[in-house]
Structure 1
Amino acid sequence: MGRPALNRQPNTLLAHWLVRSGLSNVGLARAVAQLARAQGHRQVSPDESRVRRWLAGETPREPLPELIASVLAERVGLPLTGPDLGFPGSRTIRVDRPDLPWNAAGTVEAIALLTRSELMLPHTRNGEDATRIHHGEHLLTPLGLWISAKGTVTGQPHTGARGRHIGMTEVNGLRELTRMFRDSDNRLGGMLSRKAVIAQMADATAMLDNCAYTERVGRHLFAAVADLGSVAGWMSFDSGLHTSAQKVFIAALHAASEGEDQALGAHILQCMARQMSHLGHIDDALDLVHLAQYGARRQASPATISMLAALEARFHALLGAFDESERAAGRAEEAFTRINPAEEPTHMEFFDLAELCSTLGVVHQISAKGDTSTRRSDRAEKSLSLLNQALAERPAHRVRSQAFDHLGLARTHLVVGELAGARQESAAAVKLFGAVNSTRVADRLIELHDEAGPFSASSETNELREEIRQAVSPTSYAKCEAPRREQAHRH
């Protein structure tokens, strides 16, 4: 009922899905036998010992792979095939779904497949791409396993199948490259360097798969690949490649898990939360922040705590929960006072006073827009104060962030009908947009254009809207205008 395999390895994919299904070995054997009889395969009658052999690496004969897949698919509520369960086929890992196995081998294979396909992917600004991302329970349920996942990295001794030994020198070199790519993203946007980062990620994953290293070096290398993946995912998001970004973020989260770096995992989850918010999935964004907060509760630095609380405040405000938003903003400000920059991880270097002020300034802008009480003007004034402080504190090279600050100011001015201020800040944002390649900035400009619509009787507003039309290419505008209108309406 099975074929022996040379150099047989345990089937970790089958084990993963068996755990997800809640079935025991006996339960799987019985369910497969029952389905086989129902389909007319009278000769197929596996028992518990046969399931143990499959888990140990034995490949079952046809039609068993698809029977097993059908049983497990029904239990977990997801489509599965034989290759998804580690049985021979064209592909072992499905990188187009969020439910990757939480183990080192599966993570390496997923990143290798992903980077090979990514290097062939052309740059696009196809708005339909955003409709294909995973969201809701289909995304959050598998990612929730991050909390309990344990690293499975072991040392890889030198053998005929593995090449040179690597150590912390190579890991530190990869970290320095990640810092360089992150700086390029801040200065120029994600489009220019995205494929270079994907290629570097592929090379780093090849080291995991082909080189010899100790367990300690392996964990650090997985964490370094995860951090590089967070940059690659962010650049893809900034380029408007949303499904690509989500796949890279998920693979990077698995790599962070193998590196046993929960704080880095929280950083990747907050990147995903920002993407979900950008696409209008605010409930999912808030859930991702809560997942990050809980999962990294023992490792989170003050900067991480402050950043996650600030994002929580933003998403509560978008959902109209203004009291919850204010409490989260207070936690963000309190945690920020405890930051010692020398003790923060490198991936948190971006979260400085300017970033806190900008995030909370947008929180107050959103609250002002949604608040019809007498507090509206106070919220708007607080927003303007914080966003102006963010601009004053921004390092000169954070060009894209400066554009977002000006856009935040313009939108706050619109909330209270200060059209001259909105026009001035919009012009500054458009000028900076010319210096960066960022679909996210284009999306925000289009949102501002739509929000200015009710003030079209004003010549200043018409100039604002026309300048945005000229700045954003007609093709991009046509693709993004309708989705952004719908999102603005939801907010």
Structure 2
Amino acid sequence: MTGIGGASGGNGDKRPNGLLESWFVRSGWSKGELARQVNRRARQLGAIHISTDTSRVRRWLDGEQPREPIPRILSELFSERFGCAVAVENLGLRPTHQSPSVAGVDLPWTAPQTVALMSEFSRSDLMLARRGFLGTSLALSAGPALIEPMQRWLVPTPTPGGTPTSEPTPSRRTGNKLSKPELDLLESTTVMFRQWDAQCGGGLRRKAVVGQLHEVTDLLQEPQPETTSKRLFKVASELAELAGWMSYDVGLQPTAQKYFVLALHAAKEADDKPLGSYVLSNMARQMIHLGRPDDALELIHLAQYGSRHAATARTQSMLYAMEARAYANMAQPGKCKRAVRMAEDTYADAGEFRGENEPDPDWIRFFSEAELNAENGHSFRDLAYVAGRSHTYAALAQPPMRLAVEMFGRDLEHHRSYALNLIGLATVHLLRREPEEGAGIVEQAIGIAKKVRSERLNTRLRKTVDSAVREYGEVAEIARLSDYLAKQLPETTEAAV
């Protein structure tokens, strides 16, 4: 028999829950206070059937296993109390059920469930936006577990239109239709967030983007005309992609992947294949970063196939450049060089839309001539590394990388890209056994990194300096880099926002 407090399991094998007892004692809460907090949080989640009291809390401490959502609620409450991640398992509790939003990437391709999952995941992120908490609930997917679900992006939606108008998710709102000026404002706000990310890095505005995404999912839970619903799904996709990119930038890899997957689902509901291909390209970039170029190539080919009749030349060029990065990291120089040429040739036609005079969407405007040179330079740089520090490929990398640095140096918006390409150019100098030149460029990058909140940038700087010191520690300019970096960019444990 199960009480209203949400317990499961019999009494025969119960043992006192020492882990829960330890956290409870250190919290300073009484049993009554913990019961009240659990009930309050349950009501916020809509679990109005939960009615916990002091006797129920005592039974949990004695070893009774509560049912969901109580383990998750207790995890959230203790995490907030102590300012660190306190997983369900840390409390000696069994997570009896893990919702689809934290269980992996194989999610249902239906509009109402996409909205529900985006709402739940963004809400959880806002409530517990501390480094590592969502990461402890998530597992990064790779290989077939990632690629096979993403292939269903191309499968036609079984219901006409694919919008939640015929099957709306229950809403707390009144159902007022959005006006065109309101939709325009939502879209312009997304553009503004994207500009902030380019200028300041992912660490400064991530929580604001997640909050905006959560608001848009609220709007999607209302019945809307099909055209309005598709525009809202497009906004949701762009915000989820940006939340994923910012999470990637601050080092929250599983969280980033989850947002990317949700963004792809929303792009499908918006019937925006070019946007979906862009999301897949960022998933591919993440896989390259994590040392899985085979997965990256699969994702890029899926993006190219899915958007082959819709993407602008600029988007196609970006996809070819990412294909080159994947081939470079797979040590396939011939295919890498071919993809680089395709990226350059296709970029020359940027602005043309398959014969139609349609402009590029805002999300691809970052892919400038500077970005094209940066990607191609990094492809040759990566080839140099996988080919055993090849001077030949390092020499090929230097001209486009230097051109990218010069162009980004004149750009007042893309500070992070400028710093990342300075690091890239520095690594080319190190490959060419020119440590003094490399050291000076790294110092420039450190100066820019101080103004940008990007853990990805800081990590790349530290790895580059460590590698340079190991190889050229006897060179005075290199030897002083470690101390200079430590003073200018001290490592912190600051939580991602």
Q: Which residue of 1 aligns with 2:229?
A: 218
Q: Which residue of 1 aligns with 2:401?
A: 387
Q: Distance in 2 between matches of 1:343 and 1:128?
A: 38
Deviation at 1:450, TM superposition (A): 3.3
User: Does 2:327 align with 1:316?
Assistant: yes
Q: What secondary structure sits across from 2:405 in the alignment?
A: helix
Q: What secondary structure sits across from 1:194 in the alignment?
A: helix
Q: Which residue of 2 aligns with 1:294?
A: 305
Deviation at 1:349, TM superposition (A): 0.8
Q: Which residue of 2 aligns with 1:399?
A: 415
> How does 1:460-479 map onto structure 2 within 5 Å?
460-474=477-491
- When the two structures are superposed, what TM-score results if normalisation uses the length of structure 1? 0.74
User: Does 2:121 align with 1:111?
Assistant: no
Q: Which residue of 1 aligns with 2:425?
A: 409
Q: Distance in 2 between matches of 1:455 and 1:232?
A: 39
- Give a deviation string over 1:170-194, Cα, whole Å, max 9, x none: 3221110110000000000111111
Change (3 A) 1:372 1:437: closer
Q: Which residue of 2 aligns with 1:458?
A: 475
Change (3 A) 1:127 1:102: closer
Q: Which residue of 1 aligns with 2:154?
A: 147
> How does 1:229-248 map onto structure 2 within 5 Å?
229-248=240-259
Contact 1:130 1:279 in 2 (8 A): no
Q: Distance in 1 between matches of 2:427 and 2:113?
A: 45
Deviation at 1:92, TM superposition (A): 6.3
Q: Which residue of 1 aligns with 2:449?
A: 433
User: Does 2:143 align with 1:136?
Assistant: yes
User: What amino acid is the match of 1:387?
Assistant: M
Q: Which residue of 1 aligns with 2:185?
A: 173
Q: Which residue of 1 aligns with 2:341?
A: 330
Q: Distance in 2 between matches of 1:142 and 1:209?
A: 25
Change (3 A) 1:354 1:126: farther
Deviation at 1:313, TM superposition (A): 0.6
Q: Distance in 2 between matches of 1:141 and 1:157?
A: 27
Q: Which residue of 1 aligns with 2:25?
A: none
Aligned length: 386
Structure 1 unaligned blocks of 5 or more: 1-88, 478-491
User: What amino acid is the match of 1:112?
Assistant: S
Q: Which residue of 1 aligns with 2:61?
A: none
Deviation at 1:377, TM superposition (A): 3.8
- Give a deviation string over 1:24-80, Cα, whole Å, max 9, x none: xxxxxxxxxxxxxxxxxxxxxxxxxxxxxxxxxxxxxxxxxxxxxxxxxxxxxxxxx
Across the aligned residues of Structure 1 and Structure 2, the Cα RMSD in angstroms comes to 2.7
Q: What secondary structure sits across from 1:133 in the alignment?
A: coil
Q: Distance in 1 between matches of 2:146 and 2:292?
A: 12
Contact 1:167 1:213 in 2 (8 A): no
Contact 2:234 2:266 in 1 (8 A): yes
Q: What secondary structure sits across from 1:132 in the alignment?
A: coil
Q: Distance in 2 between matches of 1:306 and 1:130?
A: 36
Contact 1:157 1:214 in 2 (8 A): no
User: What amino acid is the match of 2:282?
Assistant: C
Deviation at 1:457, TM superposition (A): 2.1
Deviation at 1:469, TM superposition (A): 3.7
Structure 2 unaligned blocks of 5 or more: 1-95, 353-357
- Give a deviation string over 1:240-297, Cα, whole Å, max 9, x none: 1111111111111100000000100011111111112112222212211111111111
Q: Distance in 2 between matches of 1:168 and 1:431?
A: 43
Q: Distance in 2 between matches of 1:130 and 1:432?
A: 34
> How does 1:197-208 map onto structure 2 within 5 Å?
197-208=209-220
User: Does 2:204 align with 1:188?
Assistant: no
User: What amino acid is the match of 1:138?
Assistant: A
Change (3 A) 1:419 1:429: same
